[in-house]
Structure 1
Amino acid sequence: MPRFRHFLAVDWSGAATERPGGIAMALAHAGGGAPVLVDAGRGWSREDVLALLREDLPDDTLVGLDLGISLPFADCGAFFPGWADSPPDAQSLWALIDDICAGDPHLSATSFVDHPELSAYFRRHNGREGALFHAPGAAHRRGRFRVTEERQQLLGCKPYSNFNLVGAAQVGKSSLTGMRVLHRLDGRIPVWPIDRLPATGSAIVEIYTTIPAVAAGRRAGTSKIRSHEELAQALSALGSAAPTGSGSIDDHSADALLSAAWMRIAAGDETLWKPEKIEHVAQTEGWTFGAP
Protein backbone atom coordinates (compact mmCIF):
# COMPACT_ATOMS: atom_id res chain seq x y z
CA MET A 1 0.00 0.00 0.00
CA PRO A 2 1.43 3.42 -0.88
CA ARG A 3 2.40 5.72 1.93
CA PHE A 4 0.85 9.08 1.08
CA ARG A 5 2.45 12.21 2.46
CA HIS A 6 -0.49 14.57 1.90
CA PHE A 7 -4.28 14.26 2.00
CA LEU A 8 -6.37 16.71 0.00
CA ALA A 9 -10.16 16.71 0.44
CA VAL A 10 -12.30 18.62 -2.07
CA ASP A 11 -15.92 19.43 -1.29
CA TRP A 12 -17.44 19.80 -4.76
CA SER A 13 -20.28 21.69 -6.43
CA GLY A 14 -22.14 21.16 -9.68
CA ALA A 15 -23.65 24.65 -9.85
CA ALA A 16 -23.56 26.09 -13.38
CA THR A 17 -21.58 29.17 -12.37
CA GLU A 18 -17.90 30.07 -12.72
CA ARG A 19 -17.05 30.01 -9.00
CA PRO A 20 -19.60 27.95 -7.07
CA GLY A 21 -19.60 28.81 -3.38
CA GLY A 22 -19.78 25.13 -2.50
CA ILE A 23 -16.23 24.24 -3.55
CA ALA A 24 -13.86 23.99 -0.57
CA MET A 25 -10.48 22.34 -0.26
CA ALA A 26 -8.48 21.23 2.78
CA LEU A 27 -5.03 19.66 3.18
CA ALA A 28 -3.68 17.42 5.93
CA HIS A 29 -0.10 16.21 6.22
CA ALA A 30 0.95 12.68 7.10
CA GLY A 31 3.17 14.00 9.88
CA GLY A 32 0.18 15.32 11.82
CA GLY A 33 -1.09 18.74 12.78
CA ALA A 34 -4.39 20.41 12.02
CA PRO A 35 -5.82 20.23 8.50
CA VAL A 36 -5.80 23.60 6.75
CA LEU A 37 -8.05 25.18 4.16
CA VAL A 38 -6.48 25.81 0.76
CA ASP A 39 -7.67 29.28 -0.17
CA ALA A 40 -7.99 30.37 -3.79
CA GLY A 41 -8.44 33.99 -2.71
CA ARG A 42 -11.54 34.62 -4.82
CA GLY A 43 -13.20 31.23 -4.48
CA TRP A 44 -12.52 28.08 -6.47
CA SER A 45 -13.72 27.39 -9.99
CA ARG A 46 -13.77 23.87 -11.39
CA GLU A 47 -11.10 24.96 -13.88
CA ASP A 48 -8.95 26.10 -10.93
CA VAL A 49 -9.25 22.70 -9.28
CA LEU A 50 -8.38 20.96 -12.55
CA ALA A 51 -5.29 23.16 -12.95
CA LEU A 52 -4.19 22.45 -9.38
CA LEU A 53 -4.56 18.69 -9.88
CA ARG A 54 -2.65 18.80 -13.16
CA GLU A 55 0.11 21.23 -12.25
CA ASP A 56 0.41 22.04 -8.55
CA LEU A 57 -0.48 18.90 -6.61
CA PRO A 58 2.15 17.98 -4.00
CA ASP A 59 3.88 14.68 -4.59
CA ASP A 60 2.35 11.56 -3.02
CA THR A 61 -1.05 13.13 -2.35
CA LEU A 62 -4.26 11.19 -1.82
CA VAL A 63 -7.03 13.36 -3.25
CA GLY A 64 -10.60 12.81 -2.08
CA LEU A 65 -13.32 14.25 -4.35
CA ASP A 66 -16.79 14.55 -2.81
CA LEU A 67 -18.71 13.45 -5.89
CA GLY A 68 -19.75 10.30 -7.72
CA ILE A 69 -17.03 9.20 -10.14
CA SER A 70 -19.51 7.18 -12.21
CA LEU A 71 -23.17 6.31 -12.70
CA PRO A 72 -25.11 3.11 -11.86
CA PHE A 73 -24.33 0.23 -14.21
CA ALA A 74 -24.65 -3.12 -12.40
CA ASP A 75 -28.39 -2.86 -11.71
CA CYS A 76 -29.32 -2.80 -15.41
CA GLY A 77 -26.12 -3.98 -17.10
CA ALA A 78 -25.60 -0.53 -18.62
CA PHE A 79 -25.38 3.13 -17.68
CA PHE A 80 -28.23 3.91 -20.09
CA PRO A 81 -30.10 0.65 -20.74
CA GLY A 82 -31.83 0.62 -24.10
CA TRP A 83 -29.64 3.38 -25.59
CA ALA A 84 -27.42 2.05 -28.38
CA ASP A 85 -24.55 4.41 -27.56
CA SER A 86 -24.35 3.62 -23.85
CA PRO A 87 -20.61 3.51 -22.98
CA PRO A 88 -19.01 0.32 -21.68
CA ASP A 89 -17.01 1.68 -18.73
CA ALA A 90 -16.46 4.72 -16.52
CA GLN A 91 -13.66 6.27 -18.53
CA SER A 92 -15.77 6.08 -21.69
CA LEU A 93 -18.61 7.68 -19.75
CA TRP A 94 -16.36 10.58 -18.72
CA ALA A 95 -15.37 11.12 -22.35
CA LEU A 96 -19.02 11.04 -23.48
CA ILE A 97 -20.08 13.62 -20.89
CA ASP A 98 -17.22 15.96 -21.73
CA ASP A 99 -17.88 15.64 -25.46
CA ILE A 100 -21.61 16.36 -25.21
CA CYS A 101 -20.94 19.28 -22.84
CA ALA A 102 -18.00 20.72 -24.77
CA GLY A 103 -19.86 24.00 -25.29
CA ASP A 104 -21.06 24.34 -21.69
CA PRO A 105 -19.10 27.00 -19.76
CA HIS A 106 -17.31 26.45 -16.45
CA LEU A 107 -17.15 22.66 -16.90
CA SER A 108 -20.88 22.47 -16.25
CA ALA A 109 -23.07 19.65 -17.57
CA THR A 110 -26.37 21.21 -18.66
CA SER A 111 -26.20 19.80 -22.20
CA PHE A 112 -25.89 16.26 -20.88
CA VAL A 113 -28.96 16.30 -18.64
CA ASP A 114 -30.97 18.12 -21.33
CA HIS A 115 -29.90 15.70 -24.06
CA PRO A 116 -33.00 14.60 -26.03
CA GLU A 117 -32.37 10.91 -25.31
CA LEU A 118 -30.33 10.92 -22.09
CA SER A 119 -32.73 13.19 -20.21
CA ALA A 120 -35.08 10.20 -19.88
CA TYR A 121 -32.70 8.70 -17.29
CA PHE A 122 -32.66 11.74 -14.97
CA ARG A 123 -34.96 13.39 -12.45
CA ARG A 124 -34.85 17.10 -13.28
CA HIS A 125 -36.45 20.21 -11.86
CA ASN A 126 -40.10 21.20 -12.29
CA GLY A 127 -41.34 17.65 -11.89
CA ARG A 128 -39.52 16.36 -14.95
CA GLU A 129 -38.78 12.76 -13.99
CA GLY A 130 -37.58 10.69 -16.90
CA ALA A 131 -39.36 7.44 -17.70
CA LEU A 132 -36.09 5.55 -17.12
CA PHE A 133 -35.09 7.22 -13.83
CA HIS A 134 -36.00 4.11 -11.79
CA ALA A 135 -34.55 0.65 -12.32
CA PRO A 136 -37.19 -1.98 -13.18
CA GLY A 137 -38.33 -3.79 -10.04
CA ALA A 138 -36.35 -1.54 -7.67
CA ALA A 139 -37.27 -1.88 -3.99
CA HIS A 140 -37.25 1.90 -3.43
CA ARG A 141 -38.21 5.01 -5.41
CA ARG A 142 -35.02 7.02 -4.90
CA GLY A 143 -33.62 6.27 -8.31
CA ARG A 144 -30.89 3.92 -9.44
CA PHE A 145 -28.01 3.20 -7.08
CA ARG A 146 -24.50 1.98 -7.66
CA VAL A 147 -23.35 -0.99 -5.59
CA THR A 148 -21.23 1.34 -3.45
CA GLU A 149 -24.29 3.43 -2.60
CA GLU A 150 -26.14 0.32 -1.51
CA ARG A 151 -23.16 -0.43 0.75
CA GLN A 152 -23.06 3.12 2.16
CA GLN A 153 -26.43 2.44 3.77
CA LEU A 154 -24.76 -0.12 6.06
CA LEU A 155 -23.03 2.83 7.74
CA GLY A 156 -26.32 4.63 8.32
CA CYS A 157 -25.88 6.92 5.31
CA LYS A 158 -28.77 7.94 3.10
CA PRO A 159 -27.26 8.26 -0.38
CA TYR A 160 -29.00 9.79 -3.37
CA SER A 161 -28.94 8.53 -6.93
CA ASN A 162 -26.45 10.19 -9.24
CA PHE A 163 -29.34 10.43 -11.72
CA ASN A 164 -31.19 12.75 -9.31
CA LEU A 165 -30.71 16.46 -10.02
CA VAL A 166 -33.35 17.82 -7.63
CA GLY A 167 -33.15 18.93 -3.99
CA ALA A 168 -30.50 20.26 -1.62
CA ALA A 169 -28.92 16.82 -1.20
CA GLN A 170 -28.77 15.96 -4.92
CA VAL A 171 -25.38 14.81 -6.15
CA GLY A 172 -26.06 14.38 -9.86
CA LYS A 173 -24.76 17.73 -11.08
CA SER A 174 -21.67 17.49 -8.88
CA SER A 175 -20.94 14.03 -10.22
CA LEU A 176 -21.37 14.92 -13.89
CA THR A 177 -19.21 18.04 -13.66
CA GLY A 178 -16.63 16.08 -11.68
CA MET A 179 -16.49 13.46 -14.42
CA ARG A 180 -15.62 16.19 -16.91
CA VAL A 181 -12.65 17.10 -14.70
CA LEU A 182 -11.58 13.45 -14.41
CA HIS A 183 -11.67 13.08 -18.19
CA ARG A 184 -9.56 16.20 -18.67
CA LEU A 185 -6.91 14.90 -16.28
CA ASP A 186 -6.18 12.46 -19.13
CA GLY A 187 -4.80 9.76 -16.87
CA ARG A 188 -2.23 11.97 -15.12
CA ILE A 189 -3.47 10.83 -11.72
CA PRO A 190 -4.89 7.32 -11.20
CA VAL A 191 -8.52 7.26 -10.09
CA TRP A 192 -9.10 4.32 -7.74
CA PRO A 193 -10.57 1.75 -8.29
CA ILE A 194 -11.13 2.49 -11.98
CA ASP A 195 -7.34 2.58 -12.15
CA ARG A 196 -5.10 0.40 -10.03
CA LEU A 197 -3.80 1.99 -6.86
CA PRO A 198 -0.18 2.95 -7.59
CA ALA A 199 2.67 1.79 -5.40
CA THR A 200 4.03 5.35 -5.37
CA GLY A 201 2.79 8.79 -6.31
CA SER A 202 -0.61 10.42 -6.02
CA ALA A 203 -4.09 9.00 -6.49
CA ILE A 204 -7.70 10.17 -6.52
CA VAL A 205 -10.57 8.54 -4.64
CA GLU A 206 -14.26 9.33 -4.37
CA ILE A 207 -15.33 10.36 -0.88
CA TYR A 208 -18.71 10.93 0.74
CA THR A 209 -18.30 13.45 3.56
CA THR A 210 -20.91 11.75 5.73
CA ILE A 211 -18.55 8.79 6.16
CA PRO A 212 -15.83 10.83 7.91
CA ALA A 213 -18.52 12.44 10.07
CA VAL A 214 -19.82 9.03 11.13
CA ALA A 215 -16.24 7.93 11.85
CA ALA A 216 -15.94 10.98 14.11
CA GLY A 217 -18.98 9.87 16.12
CA ARG A 218 -21.68 11.97 14.50
CA ARG A 219 -24.98 10.54 13.26
CA ALA A 220 -25.43 10.40 9.52
CA GLY A 221 -28.60 12.48 9.74
CA THR A 222 -26.82 15.27 11.63
CA SER A 223 -23.44 15.07 9.98
CA LYS A 224 -23.16 18.71 8.94
CA ILE A 225 -20.86 20.84 11.09
CA ARG A 226 -21.43 24.59 11.29
CA SER A 227 -19.20 25.81 14.14
CA HIS A 228 -15.50 25.67 14.92
CA GLU A 229 -16.35 24.14 18.29
CA GLU A 230 -18.22 21.22 16.69
CA LEU A 231 -15.40 20.81 14.19
CA ALA A 232 -12.77 20.69 16.94
CA GLN A 233 -14.74 18.01 18.76
CA ALA A 234 -15.09 15.90 15.61
CA LEU A 235 -11.41 16.28 14.71
CA SER A 236 -10.43 15.31 18.24
CA ALA A 237 -12.41 12.09 17.85
CA LEU A 238 -10.21 11.33 14.83
CA GLY A 239 -7.04 12.10 16.78
CA SER A 240 -6.42 15.35 14.92
CA ALA A 241 -5.65 18.85 16.07
CA ALA A 242 -8.10 21.53 14.98
CA PRO A 243 -7.46 24.77 13.10
CA THR A 244 -7.77 27.96 15.11
CA GLY A 245 -11.07 29.79 15.11
CA SER A 246 -14.34 30.10 16.94
CA GLY A 247 -17.97 30.62 16.11
CA SER A 248 -19.58 29.72 12.81
CA ILE A 249 -17.95 27.97 9.86
CA ASP A 250 -19.58 27.09 6.56
CA ASP A 251 -20.38 23.42 6.21
CA HIS A 252 -18.39 23.07 2.97
CA SER A 253 -15.17 24.12 4.69
CA ALA A 254 -15.96 21.94 7.70
CA ASP A 255 -16.64 18.93 5.45
CA ALA A 256 -13.31 19.40 3.66
CA LEU A 257 -11.32 19.84 6.88
CA LEU A 258 -12.85 16.81 8.58
CA SER A 259 -12.50 14.67 5.45
CA ALA A 260 -8.81 15.52 5.04
CA ALA A 261 -8.11 14.49 8.64
CA TRP A 262 -10.13 11.30 8.20
CA MET A 263 -8.32 10.35 4.99
CA ARG A 264 -5.01 10.63 6.86
CA ILE A 265 -5.99 7.75 9.13
CA ALA A 266 -8.29 5.84 6.77
CA ALA A 267 -5.64 5.49 4.05
CA GLY A 268 -3.70 3.14 6.32
CA ASP A 269 -6.64 0.77 6.77
CA GLU A 270 -6.04 -2.02 4.26
CA THR A 271 -9.63 -3.25 4.52
CA LEU A 272 -10.92 0.02 3.01
CA TRP A 273 -8.95 -0.68 -0.16
CA LYS A 274 -10.55 -4.12 -0.49
CA PRO A 275 -14.31 -3.68 0.02
CA GLU A 276 -16.45 -6.77 -0.28
CA LYS A 277 -18.44 -6.02 -3.44
CA ILE A 278 -15.91 -4.10 -5.51
CA GLU A 279 -14.55 -6.80 -7.81
CA HIS A 280 -17.17 -6.68 -10.58
CA VAL A 281 -17.89 -2.93 -10.59
CA ALA A 282 -14.46 -1.32 -10.29
CA GLN A 283 -14.13 -0.24 -13.95
CA THR A 284 -17.80 0.62 -14.49
CA GLU A 285 -19.24 2.12 -11.29
CA GLY A 286 -16.13 2.83 -9.25
CA TRP A 287 -16.41 2.96 -5.47
CA THR A 288 -16.66 5.35 -2.54
CA PHE A 289 -13.54 5.14 -0.36
CA GLY A 290 -14.64 4.08 3.11
CA ALA A 291 -17.78 2.23 2.04
CA PRO A 292 -17.68 -1.37 3.32
Structure 2
Amino acid sequence: MRFSRFVGIDWSGAKGVRHPSVQVAVCEAGDAPPQLVLPPSGVWSRAGVLDWLGGLSGDVLVGMDAGFGFAAVPSFTQPARGLWAEVETVCAGEADLGAHGFIEHRREAFWLGVADGPRHLRAHLRVTELVYKQSGLGVPTSNFVLLGASQVGKATLTAMRLLHRLQWPVWPFDPLTERGPVILEIYAQAFARLGGFRGKLRDVESLNIALARHGSLPMPAAFPATFPDHVGDALITGAGLRAIADQPHWWQPAALTPAIAVTEGWTFGVV
Protein backbone atom coordinates (compact mmCIF):
# COMPACT_ATOMS: atom_id res chain seq x y z
CA MET A 1 0.00 0.00 0.00
CA ARG A 2 1.24 3.51 -0.86
CA PHE A 3 0.26 4.90 2.57
CA SER A 4 1.00 3.69 6.09
CA ARG A 5 -1.08 6.15 8.12
CA PHE A 6 -4.58 7.50 7.52
CA VAL A 7 -6.08 10.62 9.08
CA GLY A 8 -9.75 11.62 9.11
CA ILE A 9 -10.64 15.25 9.88
CA ASP A 10 -14.10 16.63 10.45
CA TRP A 11 -13.80 20.35 9.74
CA SER A 12 -15.64 23.60 10.48
CA GLY A 13 -16.15 27.04 9.00
CA ALA A 14 -17.66 28.53 12.17
CA LYS A 15 -16.50 31.77 13.72
CA GLY A 16 -14.31 31.59 16.80
CA VAL A 17 -11.03 29.95 17.71
CA ARG A 18 -12.10 26.69 19.38
CA HIS A 19 -14.39 24.25 17.59
CA PRO A 20 -15.85 21.11 19.19
CA SER A 21 -17.01 20.12 15.71
CA VAL A 22 -13.39 19.82 14.54
CA GLN A 23 -12.28 16.26 15.23
CA VAL A 24 -9.22 14.28 14.19
CA ALA A 25 -8.74 10.49 14.05
CA VAL A 26 -5.77 8.36 13.00
CA CYS A 27 -5.56 4.82 11.61
CA GLU A 28 -2.28 2.99 11.18
CA ALA A 29 -1.86 0.42 8.42
CA GLY A 30 -3.34 -2.94 9.41
CA ASP A 31 -6.67 -3.54 11.12
CA ALA A 32 -6.35 -1.73 14.46
CA PRO A 33 -9.30 0.58 15.23
CA PRO A 34 -8.94 4.31 14.61
CA GLN A 35 -7.76 6.50 17.46
CA LEU A 36 -9.20 9.88 18.32
CA VAL A 37 -6.57 12.63 18.56
CA LEU A 38 -7.15 15.60 20.86
CA PRO A 39 -4.97 18.66 21.50
CA PRO A 40 -3.73 19.46 25.01
CA SER A 41 -6.64 21.88 25.50
CA GLY A 42 -9.14 19.15 24.59
CA VAL A 43 -10.74 21.25 21.83
CA TRP A 44 -9.18 21.83 18.43
CA SER A 45 -8.62 25.15 16.76
CA ARG A 46 -8.21 25.15 12.99
CA ALA A 47 -4.73 26.63 13.38
CA GLY A 48 -3.95 23.83 15.82
CA VAL A 49 -4.88 21.23 13.21
CA LEU A 50 -2.65 23.00 10.68
CA ASP A 51 0.27 22.92 13.12
CA TRP A 52 -0.38 19.25 13.93
CA LEU A 53 -0.45 18.32 10.25
CA GLY A 54 2.76 20.23 9.68
CA GLY A 55 4.45 18.00 12.23
CA LEU A 56 3.53 14.78 10.41
CA SER A 57 5.97 12.96 8.19
CA GLY A 58 6.06 9.83 6.09
CA ASP A 59 3.43 8.31 3.86
CA VAL A 60 0.30 9.74 5.44
CA LEU A 61 -3.04 10.17 3.68
CA VAL A 62 -5.32 12.84 5.15
CA GLY A 63 -9.01 13.15 4.33
CA MET A 64 -10.75 16.39 5.30
CA ASP A 65 -14.55 16.73 5.30
CA ALA A 66 -14.69 20.05 3.45
CA GLY A 67 -14.77 21.20 -0.15
CA PHE A 68 -11.47 22.14 -1.76
CA GLY A 69 -12.98 23.85 -4.81
CA PHE A 70 -16.08 25.54 -6.19
CA ALA A 71 -18.13 24.68 -9.24
CA ALA A 72 -16.56 26.17 -12.36
CA VAL A 73 -19.12 28.91 -12.92
CA PRO A 74 -17.91 32.02 -14.79
CA SER A 75 -16.65 33.79 -11.66
CA PHE A 76 -14.77 30.70 -10.39
CA THR A 77 -12.80 29.35 -13.33
CA GLN A 78 -9.22 29.94 -12.15
CA PRO A 79 -7.03 27.06 -11.00
CA ALA A 80 -7.86 26.22 -7.40
CA ARG A 81 -4.43 27.08 -6.04
CA GLY A 82 -4.94 30.62 -7.28
CA LEU A 83 -8.30 30.73 -5.51
CA TRP A 84 -6.75 29.43 -2.28
CA ALA A 85 -4.15 32.21 -2.48
CA GLU A 86 -6.90 34.79 -3.06
CA VAL A 87 -8.85 33.58 -0.02
CA GLU A 88 -5.68 33.77 2.08
CA THR A 89 -4.91 37.31 0.90
CA VAL A 90 -8.43 38.61 1.50
CA CYS A 91 -8.78 36.91 4.91
CA ALA A 92 -5.21 37.14 6.23
CA GLY A 93 -6.30 39.24 9.21
CA GLU A 94 -8.96 36.80 10.42
CA ALA A 95 -8.12 34.63 13.41
CA ASP A 96 -7.87 30.86 13.26
CA LEU A 97 -7.99 30.57 9.46
CA GLY A 98 -11.33 32.39 9.42
CA ALA A 99 -12.66 33.26 5.98
CA HIS A 100 -15.85 35.25 6.42
CA GLY A 101 -14.27 38.26 4.71
CA PHE A 102 -14.15 36.36 1.44
CA ILE A 103 -17.91 35.97 1.50
CA GLU A 104 -18.27 39.76 1.38
CA HIS A 105 -15.43 39.98 -1.14
CA ARG A 106 -17.33 37.74 -3.58
CA ARG A 107 -20.81 38.41 -2.22
CA GLU A 108 -22.54 38.11 -5.58
CA ALA A 109 -21.57 34.43 -5.83
CA PHE A 110 -23.05 33.15 -2.58
CA TRP A 111 -26.57 32.54 -1.32
CA LEU A 112 -27.22 33.56 2.29
CA GLY A 113 -31.03 33.75 2.28
CA VAL A 114 -34.15 34.91 0.48
CA ALA A 115 -32.74 38.40 -0.05
CA ASP A 116 -30.37 36.83 -2.59
CA GLY A 117 -33.24 35.61 -4.74
CA PRO A 118 -34.14 32.02 -5.65
CA ARG A 119 -31.75 29.61 -3.97
CA HIS A 120 -31.37 27.34 -6.99
CA LEU A 121 -29.91 30.15 -9.12
CA ARG A 122 -26.76 30.17 -6.97
CA ALA A 123 -26.74 26.57 -5.70
CA HIS A 124 -24.24 25.36 -8.29
CA LEU A 125 -22.91 21.81 -7.94
CA ARG A 126 -19.49 20.55 -8.94
CA VAL A 127 -19.20 17.52 -11.20
CA THR A 128 -18.22 15.32 -8.25
CA GLU A 129 -21.41 16.38 -6.45
CA LEU A 130 -23.52 15.63 -9.51
CA VAL A 131 -21.98 12.16 -9.72
CA TYR A 132 -22.68 11.59 -6.03
CA LYS A 133 -26.28 12.74 -6.49
CA GLN A 134 -26.76 10.37 -9.43
CA SER A 135 -25.44 7.47 -7.34
CA GLY A 136 -28.53 7.65 -5.12
CA LEU A 137 -26.41 7.53 -1.96
CA GLY A 138 -27.33 11.03 -0.84
CA VAL A 139 -28.19 14.61 -1.72
CA PRO A 140 -25.18 16.94 -1.94
CA THR A 141 -25.26 20.58 -0.88
CA SER A 142 -23.77 23.36 -2.98
CA ASN A 143 -20.86 25.08 -1.30
CA PHE A 144 -22.20 28.38 -2.66
CA VAL A 145 -25.13 28.04 -0.23
CA LEU A 146 -24.13 29.48 3.14
CA LEU A 147 -27.37 29.12 5.08
CA GLY A 148 -28.60 26.09 7.00
CA ALA A 149 -27.18 23.29 9.12
CA SER A 150 -25.97 21.31 6.09
CA GLN A 151 -24.06 24.15 4.44
CA VAL A 152 -20.43 23.36 3.63
CA GLY A 153 -19.31 26.60 1.99
CA LYS A 154 -17.82 28.25 5.07
CA ALA A 155 -15.84 25.10 5.86
CA THR A 156 -14.66 25.09 2.23
CA LEU A 157 -13.24 28.59 2.57
CA THR A 158 -11.41 27.90 5.84
CA ALA A 159 -10.06 24.65 4.36
CA MET A 160 -8.65 26.64 1.45
CA ARG A 161 -6.62 28.75 3.87
CA LEU A 162 -5.24 25.59 5.47
CA LEU A 163 -4.33 24.10 2.08
CA HIS A 164 -2.59 27.30 1.00
CA ARG A 165 -0.47 27.38 4.15
CA LEU A 166 0.19 23.65 4.43
CA GLN A 167 1.73 23.40 0.95
CA TRP A 168 1.30 19.62 0.69
CA PRO A 169 0.39 17.78 -2.49
CA VAL A 170 -3.42 17.94 -2.75
CA TRP A 171 -5.23 15.30 -4.81
CA PRO A 172 -6.42 15.68 -7.56
CA PHE A 173 -5.09 19.22 -8.01
CA ASP A 174 -1.55 17.81 -7.93
CA PRO A 175 -0.20 14.52 -9.32
CA LEU A 176 -0.18 11.72 -6.79
CA THR A 177 3.35 11.53 -5.43
CA GLU A 178 5.22 8.27 -4.91
CA ARG A 179 6.23 9.14 -1.35
CA GLY A 180 5.27 11.52 1.43
CA PRO A 181 2.00 13.03 2.66
CA VAL A 182 -1.09 13.73 0.58
CA ILE A 183 -4.30 15.51 1.58
CA LEU A 184 -7.64 15.17 -0.16
CA GLU A 185 -11.30 16.06 0.21
CA ILE A 186 -13.73 13.46 1.53
CA TYR A 187 -17.38 13.24 2.52
CA ALA A 188 -17.64 11.36 5.81
CA GLN A 189 -21.19 10.22 5.10
CA ALA A 190 -19.96 8.40 2.01
CA PHE A 191 -17.70 6.28 4.22
CA ALA A 192 -20.57 5.64 6.64
CA ARG A 193 -22.71 4.46 3.72
CA LEU A 194 -19.91 2.26 2.43
CA GLY A 195 -20.00 0.81 5.95
CA GLY A 196 -23.73 0.14 5.62
CA PHE A 197 -25.19 3.15 7.45
CA ARG A 198 -27.26 6.11 6.34
CA GLY A 199 -27.18 9.00 8.73
CA LYS A 200 -24.71 9.93 11.42
CA LEU A 201 -22.74 7.50 13.56
CA ARG A 202 -23.27 8.46 17.19
CA ASP A 203 -23.02 5.17 19.11
CA VAL A 204 -20.22 2.65 19.40
CA GLU A 205 -22.39 -0.33 18.42
CA SER A 206 -23.21 1.18 15.02
CA LEU A 207 -19.67 2.46 14.61
CA ASN A 208 -18.21 -0.99 15.23
CA ILE A 209 -20.49 -2.55 12.61
CA ALA A 210 -19.37 0.07 10.08
CA LEU A 211 -15.72 -0.36 11.07
CA ALA A 212 -15.95 -4.11 10.56
CA ARG A 213 -17.20 -3.58 7.01
CA HIS A 214 -14.09 -1.45 6.46
CA GLY A 215 -11.88 -4.26 7.73
CA SER A 216 -11.23 -2.68 11.12
CA LEU A 217 -11.28 -4.17 14.58
CA PRO A 218 -13.86 -2.66 16.99
CA MET A 219 -13.20 0.31 19.23
CA PRO A 220 -11.69 -0.47 22.66
CA ALA A 221 -14.14 -1.52 25.38
CA ALA A 222 -13.47 1.71 27.27
CA PHE A 223 -14.59 3.89 24.35
CA PRO A 224 -17.77 5.84 25.17
CA ALA A 225 -21.08 4.22 24.22
CA THR A 226 -22.30 7.45 22.61
CA PHE A 227 -20.49 10.46 21.19
CA PRO A 228 -21.07 13.52 18.95
CA ASP A 229 -21.51 12.82 15.26
CA HIS A 230 -18.35 14.80 14.48
CA VAL A 231 -16.37 12.17 16.38
CA GLY A 232 -18.04 9.39 14.40
CA ASP A 233 -17.28 11.21 11.13
CA ALA A 234 -13.56 11.47 11.89
CA LEU A 235 -13.27 7.86 13.04
CA ILE A 236 -15.10 6.33 10.08
CA THR A 237 -13.11 8.52 7.67
CA GLY A 238 -9.79 7.23 8.98
CA ALA A 239 -10.92 3.61 8.71
CA GLY A 240 -12.62 4.18 5.35
CA LEU A 241 -9.53 5.76 3.83
CA ARG A 242 -7.43 2.80 4.96
CA ALA A 243 -9.93 0.39 3.45
CA ILE A 244 -10.10 1.86 -0.06
CA ALA A 245 -6.84 3.75 -0.61
CA ASP A 246 -5.17 0.82 -2.37
CA GLN A 247 -8.07 0.30 -4.81
CA PRO A 248 -7.15 2.07 -8.08
CA HIS A 249 -10.68 2.89 -9.26
CA TRP A 250 -11.20 5.39 -6.44
CA TRP A 251 -8.29 7.40 -7.82
CA GLN A 252 -9.62 7.31 -11.39
CA PRO A 253 -13.25 8.55 -11.46
CA ALA A 254 -14.60 8.40 -15.00
CA ALA A 255 -15.84 12.00 -14.94
CA LEU A 256 -12.63 13.50 -13.52
CA THR A 257 -11.05 15.38 -16.41
CA PRO A 258 -7.73 17.28 -16.21
CA ALA A 259 -9.64 20.59 -16.28
CA ILE A 260 -11.90 19.55 -13.39
CA ALA A 261 -8.89 18.22 -11.47
CA VAL A 262 -7.23 21.66 -11.28
CA THR A 263 -10.36 23.79 -10.79
CA GLU A 264 -13.22 21.99 -9.02
CA GLY A 265 -11.31 19.04 -7.59
CA TRP A 266 -12.99 15.82 -6.50
CA THR A 267 -14.35 14.08 -3.42
CA PHE A 268 -12.34 10.92 -2.81
CA GLY A 269 -14.75 8.01 -2.42
CA VAL A 270 -17.10 9.20 -5.19
CA VAL A 271 -16.91 7.38 -8.54
Same fold (TM over 0.5): yes
| Residue 158 of structure 1, CA deviation | 1.0
Is the CA contact (8 Å cut-off) linking 2:111 and 2:119 kept in structure 1?
Answer: no
Identity %: 39
Partner of 1:166: 147
The residue type equivalent to 2:217 in the other structure is A
Task: Determine the C-alpha separation between the residues in 1 that align with 2:140 and 2:219.
Answer: 29
The 5 A counterparts of 1:68-87 are 68-73=67-72, 76=73, 78=74, 80=75
Task: Kindly provide the CA deviation profile for residues 93-121 of structure 1, in whole angstroms up to 9, marking residues without a partner as x.
Answer: 00111111112222111111122xx1111
Task: Determine the C-alpha separation between the residues in 2 that align with 1:148 and 1:213.
Answer: 18
Is the CA contact (8 Å cut-off) linking 1:10 and 1:64 kept in structure 2?
Answer: yes
Task: Determine the C-alpha separation between the residues in 2 that align with 1:289 and 1:155.
Answer: 17
Partner of 1:138: none
Partner of 1:291: 270
The residue type equivalent to 2:81 in the other structure is Q
Q: Does 1:230 align with 2:210?
A: no
The residue type equivalent to 1:50 in the other structure is L
How many pairs does the alignment contain?
A: 266
Task: Determine the C-alpha separation between the residues in 2 that align with 1:134 and 1:51.
Answer: 38
Q: Does 1:10 align with 2:6?
A: no
Task: Determine the C-alpha separation between the residues in 1 that align with 2:81 and 2:161.
Answer: 10
| Residue 128 of structure 1, CA deviation | 3.8
Task: Determine the C-alpha separation between the residues in 2 that align with 1:155 and 1:59.
Answer: 36
Q: Name the one with the larger helix percent.
A: 2
**Which TM-score applies when normalising by structure 1?**
0.87
The residue type equivalent to 2:216 in the other structure is S
| Residue 130 of structure 1, CA deviation | 6.2
| Residue 31 of structure 1, CA deviation | 2.2
List runs of 5+ in structure 2 lacking aligned partners.
none
Does the C-alpha gap of structure 1 residues 130 and 48 become closer, same or farther in structure 2, counting only changes over 3 Å?
farther
The 5 A counterparts of 1:1-292 are 3-42=2-41, 43-54=43-54, 56-73=55-72, 76=73, 78=74, 80=75, 88-115=78-105, 118-124=106-112, 127-129=114-116, 134=121, 143-153=123-133, 154-185=135-166, 187=167, 189-219=168-198, 223-244=199-220, 245-279=223-257, 280-292=259-271
Is the CA contact (8 Å cut-off) linking 2:58 and 2:179 kept in structure 1?
Answer: no
